[in-house]
Amino acid sequence: MHFIENFFAKYSHEQIVKWFKQICVAEAISCFLLYCVAMVWKRYDQEGLWPTVFIIIIGNIHGLFFTLYLLLLIPARKIYTWDDEDTVFALLSAFFPFATIWVDKKLARLDRE
């Protein structure tokens, strides 16, 4: 964890906040594409090769955004001064579809009380 903090220390808080908000949205969009498009397409076209290729590509992209979200939680906790409850909630929201949008809109605000 010290390595991650040192890596993000060279970037400004504004840059990290911008990245965190973008990753929250990108993770939700990739989740939508994976669950609502790729899996449905694969369900109705089981013999085709293109649905499988689409699932592999979107699945890898979603995995990348998921990992980036988890990595950016560490500096985001310090920037937003989250307590342990907020951090655990933000961490658990990564495992529920579209919950990162809620983290972006409600929890990741500098002016919340």
Look-up: residue for tokens 């390595």? Answer: 3
Is 17 part of any domain? no
Is 38 part of any domain? no
The whole domain housing 78 covers 55-108
Look-up: residue for tokens 């220390």? Answer: 9
pLDDT at 113: 56
Is 22 part of any domain? no
Residue 94 is given by DSSP the state: T
Stretch (H or E) spanning 111: none
Is 99 part of any domain? yes
Q: 44-83: string of b/e by CB count within 10 Å (b at 16+)?
A: eeeeeeebeebbeebeebbeebbebbebbbebbbebbebe
pLDDT at 7: 87
Is 76 part of any domain? yes
Total domain count for the chain? 1
pLDDT at 27: 94
Angle at 23 between CA 32 and CA 104, to 5 degrees: 85
User: pTM for this structure?
Assistant: 0.87
Is 101 part of any domain? yes
Is 1 part of any domain? no
Is 33 part of any domain? no
The token pair at 94 is 């990564």
Do residues 108 and 17 lie in contact, with contact meaning Cβ atoms separated by under 8 Å? yes
pLDDT at 2: 79
10-residue averages of pLDDT along the chain (113 residues)? 83 93 94 89 84 91 96 92 91 92 82 60
